[in-house]
């Protein structure tokens, strides 16, 4: 619960993205976190049972799944470098012969 308390103190730092409808209406004071053990035991703090829009954090889970299924094969189609461009930019693909710079920009997540 120490993490939840610390996050509550940061609630007024920044604002949700207004151009994404699901985030525009989000309450920035909400914070929840949960950890599930392999046996199914779940521990949660804060607003952990409150539904929320995962948006780009889903890229982390997609990469973890892809790595568990295909291991190093993934890195043949996507790089491991920062792009320096917006997450939705396709400009870098032209310079990189169609290989996205990393799995966390939109083009890389699609790979």
Each residue of 12-22: pLDDT tens digit? Answer: 888 888 998 98
Say if residue 35's pLDDT is above 90: yes
Mean pLDDT for the stretch of residues 71-98: 88
| pLDDT recorded at residue 51 | 92
Within this chain, do residues 42 and 59 fall inside the same structural domain, yes or no? no
| pLDDT higher than threshold 90 for residue 38 | yes
Question: Do residues 64 and 48 touch, judged by C-beta distance below 8 A?
Answer: no
**pLDDT tens digit string along 42-72?**
999 999 999 998 888 999 999 999 999 988 8
**What pLDDT is stored for residue 95 in this prediction?**
86
pTM: 0.70
Tally of domains within the chain: 2
Buried b / exposed e over 85-102, threshold 16 CB at 10 Å, is eeeeeeebbeeeeebbbb
- Domain shared by 11 and 33, yes or no: yes
Residue 13's domain comprises: 2-46
Q: Do 38 and 79 share a domain, yes or no?
A: no
The number of C-alpha atoms within 13 Å of 67 and in the hemisphere containing its C-beta is 10
**DSSP character for 109?**
H
The pLDDT-based confidence of 101 (bands split at 50, 70, 90) is very high
Residue 31, token pair as written in the block: 């914070």
């Amino acid at each position: 619960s120490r993490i939840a308390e610390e996050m509550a103190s940061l609630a007024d730092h920044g604002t949700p993205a207004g151009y994404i409808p699901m985030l525009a209406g989000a309450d920035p004071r909400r914070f929840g976190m949960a950890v599930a053990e392999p046996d199914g035991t779940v521990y949660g703090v804060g607003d952990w049972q409150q539904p929320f829009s995962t948006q780009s954090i889903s890229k982390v889970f997609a990469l973890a799944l892809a790595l568990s299924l295909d291991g190093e094969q993934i890195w043949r189609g996507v790089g491991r470098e920062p792009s320096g461009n917006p997450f939705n930019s396709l400009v870098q693909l032209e310079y990189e012969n169609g290989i996205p710079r990393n799995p966390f920009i939109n083009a890389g997540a699609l790979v």
